[in-house]
Amino acid sequence: MGEVSAGVNARTPGRTTGFPDGAPVWQDAAPMSDLPPALARLPGRRLGRFGAALLGVALALGVVLAPGRAAATVPAGLVEIPSAFMGLLRLLPGLDLAFGLAAPCRAVGWPSFGRLENGVLAKSTPGLFVRSRDSWGTPEAVRALRRVAQEVETLYPGRGDLIVTDISRRRGGHLRPHRTHQNGQDVDLLLYRNKPGPSARSFDEIDVERLWALVTALRAPGTAELVLVDRGVQARLYAYARDVAGVPETELETLFEYPRQGKRARGEAKPFVRHARGHRTHLHVRFHSPEAIAASIGEDARRGYERIVHVAARGETLASVAAQYGTPVELLATENGLSLKARLRRGARLFVLRPLDPARVSRDTASENRGG
């Protein structure tokens, strides 16, 4: 159950989320519940004797390593166990993979409609100041962010930190006031300032030299997908790149949207740095996160689904949408953090896990219903 034949993955255009292996789909509230993912991923019957022994070791280790904390929390409930357990797994590289119990980060869905599972919290490091508590990202995004800030700091030491205003919430999803920032890939960064003080508030205050170094670092292969910033900021970067850094015209064209106005022709590659309104005082960077995205898509495919987004039309219900795609209504509800009785607003966006093989889903559902 839950296995997908080879070749199915190739058909999966969307992105995804994770569900505990083998759990009946309608019980799968894990991604939306407050249960630590590790606990949700450890159904008792699959844990077995060996797993239980490991859990015991982890618990003991938790007590040894953190006596004060463990004394208070362990008797209080099981909730702390998974974190000790996952801690152990991380201490012993390879063990997690061997038992398939690791919790890989998943960038679920899309930046504009998605969520984050098992993301990491960005912390201030040399050259980087993390100002927001909503600074959870994919490990790839957080690593790259740290690296580019360090590179600029090395080139221009002591001129001030790169300031992170927002990445994503711990579990992703909507983060006010952003339209994106939902799956741990998007990072907002204030502009380096050319005099003392935290960040440039006008074009004249921009430290173009450092900002250009940052853009250069972000362009390194596998680092960032795109940068959004106002044309006015681009104009300064463009002039610096052309006149000081000596970047040839042809390369400038693939790099900046500036100075061209209007849309590029269909099929024409989009530049790396693009204009966006409301980005006069900060950069919006989308970091490459291929592993977190693949983990998400892979998990959907392994369970036999592909992820798409459905926009609710007038009069639609959870049941009618589920029927339309041949997906269990319980799965549709849990995927979207809704109760079965929830009403759909027109225009509401829903994650739909569409079965790759409808016959298999109905078989699985039937066997779950029989208690098998």
CA distance 74 to 72: 6
Q: Which stretch binds Zn ion (CB under 5 A): 32-40, 188-196, 219-227, 335-343?
A: 188-196
In angstroms, give the least distance from the CB of 242 to Zn ion.
27
Q: Are 12 and 301 contacting, i.e. CB atoms less than 8 angstroms apart?
A: yes
Q: Which is nearer to Zn ion, 110 or 156 (CB)?
A: 110
Triad 232, 236, 240: Cα angle to 5°:
160
Q: Which stretch binds Zn ion (CB under 5 A): 142-150, 284-292, 300-308, 314-322?
A: 284-292
188 is a contact residue toward Zn ion (CB under 5 A): yes
CA distance 257 to 216: 16
In angstroms, give the least distance from the CB of 95 to Zn ion.
37
Q: Which is nearer to Zn ion, 146 or 284 (CB)?
A: 284
# chain residues binding Zn ion, by CB under 5 A: 2
Task: Specify the long-range contacts of residues 140-144, CB closer than 8 Å, at least 24 apart.
Answer: 140/287, 140/288, 140/289, 140/290, 140/291, 140/292, 141/167, 141/184, 141/185, 141/187, 141/287, 141/288, 141/289, 142/167, 144/222, 144/223, 144/224, 144/287, 144/288
* Contact pattern from residue 96 through residue 135 relative to Zn ion, giving x for each residue in contact according to CB under 5 A and a dash for the rest: ----------------------------------------
| Residue with smallest beta-carbon separation from Zn ion | 284
Q: Are 231 and 275 contacting, i.e. CB atoms less than 8 angstroms apart?
A: yes
Amino acid at 81: I
Per the listing, tokens 């012993």 go with 92
In angstroms, give the least distance from the CB of 214 to Zn ion.
15
Q: Which is nearer to Zn ion, 275 or 284 (CB)?
A: 284
**Strand-pair category, 273-274 with 186-190:** unpaired
Which two structure tokens, joined as six digits, stand for 156?
A: 């221009």
275 is a contact residue toward Zn ion (CB under 5 A): no
* Three-class HEC string of 80-143: HHHHHHHHHHHHCCCHHHHHCCCCCCEEEEECCEEEEECCEECCCECCEEECCCCCEECHHHHH
Q: Which stretch binds Zn ion (CB under 5 A): 118-126, 151-159, 249-257, 280-288?
A: 280-288
In angstroms, give the least distance from the CB of 175 to Zn ion.
9
Amino acid at 131: R
284 is a contact residue toward Zn ion (CB under 5 A): yes
Q: Which is nearer to Zn ion, 188 or 299 (CB)?
A: 188
Q: Which is nearer to Zn ion, 186 or 316 (CB)?
A: 186
169 is a contact residue toward Zn ion (CB under 5 A): no
CA distance 342 to 322: 13
In angstroms, give the least distance from the CB of 178 to Zn ion.
5
Site for Zn ion in 216-245 (CB under 5 A): none
In angstroms, give the least distance from the CB of 277 to Zn ion.
12
Q: Which stretch binds Zn ion (CB under 5 A): 110-118, 183-191, 260-268, 346-354?
A: 183-191
Q: Which residues bind Zn ion (CB under 5 A)?
A: 188, 284
